[in-house]
């Protein structure tokens, strides 16, 4: 029996060692895990990835912060605006895809994704139907900008005077976000029926979608998982002035491919920003017990053309460039002079921060980030932050503008956040543990090989002790004759 055990140990030790070295050298277990993950992140009908993509079980939180103007008369006399941040007003945002179609033998998927918003009183500072905010009068500013160099300039001046439209207006939070009937727009609507008399910054967002998306399923290349290739029937945009700036790159920001590395750029096509943006690796974090990589937009993406010439395509009209940190999206906002930035002009040039009293930019509250599990590509936590500004300036002939300074005037900023819920976080942790155990098999075999080898050598070559001979009396027979 002892000999059998020794032979078994002697054979097992090299077998474990050879097998473990072979597995490690060929990355067999690692490739096995990677293959399973790639196979699991394909948009196939009725798969877990497809169900999560089609009907996300976790809502987003949309928090809105307004900048309430406290010195409107002084602003019209050329002084800097003084604003007070008011918020958040929080809405729970549910997304679900509809009209889903599998295309080209499963290589593409088309869909619409409407969003529905529900107010969360417990997470808000007040009642949106009661709280009133003084801010810039966007319908009036838009009308002045459109009419300034057109035959409708004089009629626009008369209408603005007749309806006593001012540069600034006061409305409830509910009205500013979701819409109200504007008396000036109503008058314009009587002459131009295409003009909507109801205005609200988010009027077209609730219970509506932002267009049809066509995405790759990832069945041919895992890197293409949910990558957008068409939006509203187009494979490129037409708002910008160069081919590269009009490209549609990346996913829609809700899903990402698996096996993410630190040196890659995460592309997102954002209809809010009217362009594709990218984020780069910043740091490793643990969120909800899950290892993640944090990706943030680099400074380069906000830089002016003198720092980043690639941003020249976002100067509209061509050659008319804003300073760092400001994006003119007038072209994709039906001619409304809306300029986007990060909240409080974070990462923007100092002149914009100093032009408005009440701006206090900081990374913790105003930066955008994604926390992604690199193995699975699952989004664990995210904050997408964006500030809506209206470009204002003195326009000769329109007395409403007074002597106002030329600037992007801050109206509000939004924080759209996401955190994986406890149930799905637990599922992800279990999956990551399972994959870790599979990848640890070669190391376990290596350890067993070393242990078996050590036991075999110890038993085989350990020096055997000699029996003690004793003294003369001890060696004498027990019975003497």
Q: How far apart are CA 170 and CA 163, in angstroms?
A: 15
SS3 content of the chain, % helix, strand, coil (to 5): 35, 25, 40
Whether 426 is in a domain gets the answer no
Residue 200 Cα distances to 174, 205, 206, angstroms: 9, 10, 11
**Whether the predicted model's global pTM rises above the 0.95 cut:** no
Closest CA to 210 of 256, 277, 272: 272
One domain for residues 95 and 119:
yes
Whether 230 is in a domain gets the answer yes
φ, ψ dihedrals at 84, nearest 5°: -120, 125
One domain for residues 451 and 365:
no
One domain for residues 158 and 242:
yes
Whether 31 is in a domain gets the answer yes
One domain for residues 69 and 93:
yes
Q: What pLDDT is stored for residue 39 in this prediction?
A: 79
Q: What pLDDT is stored for residue 34 in this prediction?
A: 65
| Angle, vertex CA 170, rays to CA 131 and CA 326, nearest 5 | 100
Instruction: Give counts: helices (H), strands (E), the chain.
Output: 13, 19
Whether 64 is in a domain gets the answer yes
For 235, left (φ over 0), alpha (ψ -120 to 50), or beta? alpha
Residue 1, helix vs strand vs coil: coil
ω into residue 467 within 30 of 0, thus cis?
Answer: no
One domain for residues 298 and 358:
yes
Q: What pLDDT is stored for residue 89 in this prediction?
A: 98
- The size of the chain, in residues, is 481
| Angle, vertex CA 468, rays to CA 464 and CA 470, nearest 5 | 175
Q: How far apart are CA 377 and CA 375, in angstroms?
A: 6
One domain for residues 73 and 31:
no
DSSP 203: T
Q: What is the pLDDT along the chain (481 residues), one digit of tens a residue?
A: 656 565 565 555 565 456 555 544 545 555 555 667 777 789 988 888 899 999 999 999 999 999 999 999 999 999 999 999 999 999 999 999 999 999 988 999 999 999 999 999 999 999 999 999 999 999 999 999 999 888 888 888 999 999 999 999 999 999 999 999 999 999 989 888 988 999 999 998 888 899 999 999 999 999 999 999 999 999 999 999 999 999 999 999 999 999 999 999 999 999 999 999 999 999 999 999 999 999 999 999 989 998 999 999 999 988 889 999 999 999 999 899 999 999 999 999 999 999 999 999 999 999 999 999 999 999 999 999 999 999 999 999 899 999 999 999 999 999 999 999 999 999 999 988 877 665 555 556 556 556 655 665 666 666 655 445 555 555 555 555 5
One domain for residues 255 and 121:
yes
Tell me the CB-side half-sphere exposure of residue 68, using CA atoms within 13 A.
13
Q: Is 357 exposed, middle or buried (0-12, 13-18, 19+ CB in 10 A)?
A: middle
φ, ψ dihedrals at 176, nearest 5°: -60, -40
Contact 54, 101 (CB under 8 A): no
216 Cβ neighbours under 8 A, 6+ residues apart: 107, 108, 109, 224, 225, 226, 227, 229
Whether 469 is in a domain gets the answer no
Number of domains in the chain: 2
Contact 38, 258 (CB under 8 A): yes
Q: How far apart are CA 258 and CA 227, in angstroms?
A: 12
Whether 144 is in a domain gets the answer yes
One domain for residues 241 and 328:
yes
Residue 400, helix vs strand vs coil: helix
Contact 408, 326 (CB under 8 A): yes
Whose structure tokens read 């474990």? Answer: 16
One domain for residues 454 and 394:
no
Q: Which domain holds residue 445?
A: 1-35+436-460
Distance between alpha carbon 262 and the CA centroid of its chain, in Å?
16
One domain for residues 174 and 206:
yes
Q: Long-range pairs for 271-275 at CB < 8 Å and ≥24 separation?
A: 271/210, 271/211, 271/231, 272/340, 272/384, 272/386, 273/327, 273/329, 273/340, 273/386, 274/237, 274/239, 274/327, 274/329, 274/331, 274/332, 274/333, 275/237, 275/239, 275/240, 275/245, 275/314, 275/327
Q: Which of 370, 390, 420 is the last residue of a domain?
A: 420
Whether 467 is in a domain gets the answer no
One domain for residues 18 and 116:
no
One domain for residues 4 and 150:
no
Whether 134 is in a domain gets the answer yes
């Amino acid at each position: 029996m002892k000999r059998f055990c020794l032979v078994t140990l002697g054979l097992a030790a090299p077998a474990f060692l050879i097998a473990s070295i072979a597995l490690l050298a060929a990355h067999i277990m690692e490739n096995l895990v990677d293959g399973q993950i790639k196979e699991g992140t394909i948009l196939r009908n009725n798969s877990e990835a497809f169900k999560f993509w089609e009907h996300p079980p976790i809502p987003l939180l949309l928090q809105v912060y307004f900048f309430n103007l406290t010195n409107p008369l002084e602003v019209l006399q050329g002084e800097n605006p003084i604003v007070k941040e008011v918020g958040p007003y929080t809405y729970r945002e549910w997304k679900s895809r509809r009209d889903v179609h599998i295309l080209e033998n499963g290589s593409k998927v088309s869909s619409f994704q409407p969003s529905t918003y529900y107010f969360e009183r417990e997470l808000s500072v007040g009642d949106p139907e009661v709280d009133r905010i003084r801010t810039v009068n966007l319908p009036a500013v838009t009308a002045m900008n459109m009419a300034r160099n057109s035959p409708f300039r004089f009629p626009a001046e008369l209408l603005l005077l007749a309806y006593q439209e001012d540069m600034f207006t006061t409305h409830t939070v509910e009205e500013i976000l979701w819409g109200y009937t504007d008396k000036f727009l109503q008058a314009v609507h009587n002459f131009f029926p295409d003009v909507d008399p109801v205005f609200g910054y988010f009027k077209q967002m609730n219970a509506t979608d932002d267009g049809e998306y066509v995405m790759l399923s990832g069945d041919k290349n895992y890197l293409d998982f949910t990558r957008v290739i068409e939006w509203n029937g187009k494979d490129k945009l037409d708002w910008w002035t160069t081919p590269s700036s009009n490209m549609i790159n990346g996913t829609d920001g809700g899903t990402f491919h698996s096996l993410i590395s630190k040196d890659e750029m995460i592309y997102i096509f954002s209809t809010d920003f009217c362009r594709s943006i990218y984020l780069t690796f910043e740091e490793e974090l643990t969120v909800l017990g899950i290892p993640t990589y944090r990706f943030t937009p680099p400074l380069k993406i906000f830089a002016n053309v003198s720092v980043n010439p690639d941003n020249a395509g976002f100067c509209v009209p061509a050659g008319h460039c804003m300073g760092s940190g400001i994006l003119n999206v007038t072209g994709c906002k039906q001619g409304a002079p809306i300029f986007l930035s990060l909240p409080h002009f974070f990462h923007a040039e100092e002149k914009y921060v100093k032009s408005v009293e009440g701006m206090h930019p900081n990374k913790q509250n105003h930066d955008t980030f994604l926390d992604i599990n690199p193995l699975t590509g699952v989004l664990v936590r995210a904050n997408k932050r964006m500030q809506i500004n209206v470009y204002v300036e003195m326009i000769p002939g329109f007395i409403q503008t007074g002597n106002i300074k030329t600037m992007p005037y801050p109206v509000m900023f939004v924080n759209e956040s996401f955190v994986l819920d406890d149930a799905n976080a637990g599922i992800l942790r279990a999956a990551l543990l399972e994959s870790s155990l599979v990848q640890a098999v070669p190391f376990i075999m290596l350890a067993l090989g070393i242990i078996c080898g050590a036991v075999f050598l110890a038993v085989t070559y350990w020096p055997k002790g000699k029996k003690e001979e004793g003294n003369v009396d001890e060696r004498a027979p027990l019975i003497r004759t």
